[in-house]
Amino acid sequence: MLFEPTYTMIGCLTDEIRAYDKRVEMLCEQVYPETGLLRQVPGVGPIIALTYVLTIGDPRRFDKSRQLGSYLGLRPRMDQSGESNPQLRITKAGDATLRTLLIQSAHYVLGPFGPDSDLRRWGLRLKERGGKHASKRAAVAVARKLAVLLHVLWRDSATYEPLRNSKN
């Protein structure tokens, strides 16, 4: 067959990817057990948790968890001039890999397979506001909030409660 070498190569690459996934899982469990705290959140797997832990280093280096949004470049730029205060793109400061992974996780949270949580509900409300780039804006906002949530879980060794604010 014409495509047989391609299928063979795809099979080999798939096996290699599985082997690397197992190595990352083992690294998380044995060397960086704190990643287990972060993986409580749906949409945060071993790669995101490990990248987060390795990028931040020490959770106590930030006085407030909210500082992580700026540190990772997940906040809008400011360009105030007189009466105008336009909303600009994010600053993209900090680690691009972690920022990308957090935004991917935010897309999962907001997507059709994301489980119900306060974070999802908040993000969907932002998305419903409409506008030209509402879904992108909501994904960045959820990624920023996710970065803060992960920091709190790690710093306080807390248990994730998906519907904490909805318990009334």
Chain segment 69-113, per-residue pLDDT in tens: 888 888 766 666 677 666 666 667 788 999 999 999 999 999 999
Nearest in space to 162 (alpha carbons), one of 121, 108, 111: 121
Residue with the larger pLDDT of the pair 108 and 135: 108
% of the chain exceeding 90 in pLDDT: 69
Confidence tier at 118 by pLDDT (50, 70, 90): very high
- Does residue 168 carry a pLDDT above 60? no
Which residues, other chains included, contact 145 with Cβ-Cβ below 8 Å and sequence gap of 6+? Answer: 119, 122, 123
What whole-number distance in Å separates Cα of residue 47 and Cα of residue 51? 6
Within the chain, residue ranges assigned H as helices are 4-30, 35-38, 46-56, 67-71, 96-110, 118-128, 134-156
Residue with the larger pLDDT of the pair 38 and 132: 38
% of the chain exceeding 70 in pLDDT: 90
**What are phi and psi for residue 84, nearest 5 degrees?**
-85, 145
Please state, rounded to an integer, the average pLDDT across all residues of the chain: 90
Confidence tier at 167 by pLDDT (50, 70, 90): low
Query: What average pLDDT does the segment 139-162 reach?
Result: 94
Which amino acid is present at 117?
Answer: S
Query: What average pLDDT does the segment 124-145 reach?
Result: 89
Query: What average pLDDT does the segment 125-130 reach?
Result: 88
